[in-house]
Structure 1
Amino acid sequence: MITAAADGSALGNPGPAGWAWYVDDDRWGAGGWKHATNNQGELKAVLELFRATAHLDDELLVLCDSQYVINCITKWMPGWKRKGWRKADGKPVLNVELLKELDDELAGRRYRFEWVKGHVGHPMNEAADVRARAVAESYRSGGPVPSGPGWRDEISGAATRGADATTDAAASVDPIDEVELELAAASVIDASVPADPNPGADDDTLFSFDEAPDAWHQLTVELSTEEHDRLLQLARAAGVAPEEYLRGLI
């Protein structure tokens, strides 16, 4: 089994952005955009990891600090596909092009995702984070973008970087991605998705629609310092408390 970490970074979110996957110092890849969101970087990191390892038969364990990415791949995508890549409210799914590419790459692969808490010193997560942020910094400063060696085959020495190690085009930005919200719940999630016992229910909801409509739910979110500052700026600009700003995104 191959264990790899994948991470994304966006300065300003959206802003100069990078993505990176990391196995060890000899096998890692990175790239980014002049303007994108953190979620797009997280998705792209996983996509390029699967592309770089497409020639291998090993099961892939992906260490990821984004519950958004894990839920997209393991829980929500089957329902979105059934609905023509639309959410329960009929609106288009965010980051749909990246998700469609991921859906293609995942076909026939053996993989699992493990959630790891970001920015707490996890060695592989930190290695991916440092590389993703370095790319974002390079796009902000206009310096050379570190792309990494890719996947270097131990026998032939040939490297596989994925479809594009760096992307110098602006990525489309989804407005709701300006604030990265991630559930803090550590878990290991298997790639297999069980059959949906209730096809009419939302796959992308945090709560059950069977609950009373007047019920209140307490949701804990984890934000980086950069994301927290961004939330405060947006809330002040809107003239509301941060909690009210978040509620307005729903």
Structure 2
Amino acid sequence: MSDAGTTSKIVEISTDGACLGNPGPGGWGAVLRYGDVEKEISGAEPDTTNNRMELMGAIEALNALKRRSSVILYTDSSYVRNGITKWVAGWQRNGWKTASKQPVKNADLWKKLIEAEKNHEVEWRWVKGHAGDKYNEIADTLASSAARELRDGAR
């Protein structure tokens, strides 16, 4: 193990979001891996969109880390990956307006993601969804289950 102040190991995180209807009841899920330790987390919201749940998966996973970490975050959402790595700087410069001067959708969550990311060194990686990636499949199951449980009153 490393000293408390260093980050010799990388935390790998796989996230996903799901929505039953869009908008509708939604869920997010994440699998965090550090060495031999795995932790699964999930949550749900009653009236949301798939993109919001994709963002929540990343936000909540990063916020679950107890100390500054080097992270590889895997998402099957091009929206999340492109947003945080390519678009967000321009949105901030433009006062949270798109190039066409429209308000950025989900700006509240983009701001939370920026805040969560600040505490870590994050490498964002896109993975193809529903293509057999073990941890993406687990995150998808967590997200879908959370949405179904909320819809069915079990959450």
2:11 corresponding residue in structure 1: 2
1:14 corresponding residue in structure 2: 23
Query: What is the DSSP-based 3-state SS (H/G/I as helix, E as strand, rest coil) of the residue aligned with 1:111?
Result: strand
* C-alpha distance in structure 1 between counterparts of 2:119 and 2:38, whole Å: 26
Which of the numbers 77, 82, 93 marks the counterpart of 2:104?
93
Q: Name whichever of 108-117 and 80-89 sits farther off.
A: 108-117
* C-alpha distance in structure 2 between counterparts of 1:103 and 1:23, whole Å: 19
Tell me how far 1:41 sits from its aligned partner: 0.3
Which of the numbers 111, 116, 123 marks the counterpart of 1:105?
116
Tell me how far 1:108 sits from its aligned partner: 4.4
* C-alpha distance in structure 2 between counterparts of 1:48 and 1:134, whole Å: 17
8 A contact 2:11–2:72 mirrored in 1: yes
1:30 corresponding residue in structure 2: 42
Query: What is the DSSP-based 3-state SS (H/G/I as helix, E as strand, rest coil) of the residue aligned with 2:128?
Result: coil
Tell me how far 1:57 sits from its aligned partner: 3.0
1:77 maps onto 2:88 in alignment: yes
RMSD: 1.3
2:6 corresponding residue in structure 1: none
Query: What is the DSSP-based 3-state SS (H/G/I as helix, E as strand, rest coil) of the residue aligned with 1:121?
Result: coil
Tell me how far 1:13 sits from its aligned partner: 1.5
Tell me how far 1:23 sits from its aligned partner: 2.3
Of structures 1 and 2, the one scoring higher in RCO (CA 8 A, sep 6+) is 2
Query: What is the DSSP-based 3-state SS (H/G/I as helix, E as strand, rest coil) of the residue aligned with 1:118?
Result: coil
TM-score by length of 2: 0.88
8 A contact 1:23–1:124 mirrored in 2: no
Tell me how far 1:88 sits from its aligned partner: 1.2
* C-alpha distance in structure 1 between counterparts of 2:119 and 2:67, whole Å: 12
8 A contact 1:58–1:110 mirrored in 2: yes
Name the larger-Rg structure.
1
Query: What is the DSSP-based 3-state SS (H/G/I as helix, E as strand, rest coil) of the residue aligned with 1:142?
Result: coil
1:40 maps onto 2:49 in alignment: no
8 A contact 2:68–2:119 mirrored in 1: no
Quickly say closer, same or farther: Cα 1:102–1:89, change in 2 above 3 A: same
1:165-180 residue pairs with structure 2 within 5 A? none
Percent of aligned pairs with the same residue?
Answer: 37
In structure 2, runs of 5+ residues without a counterpart are 1-9
1:132 corresponding residue in structure 2: 143
* C-alpha distance in structure 1 between counterparts of 2:19 and 2:99, whole Å: 28
8 A contact 1:10–1:16 mirrored in 2: yes
2:4 corresponding residue in structure 1: none
Q: Deviations over 1:63-86 (max 9, x none)?
A: 110000001100000000001001
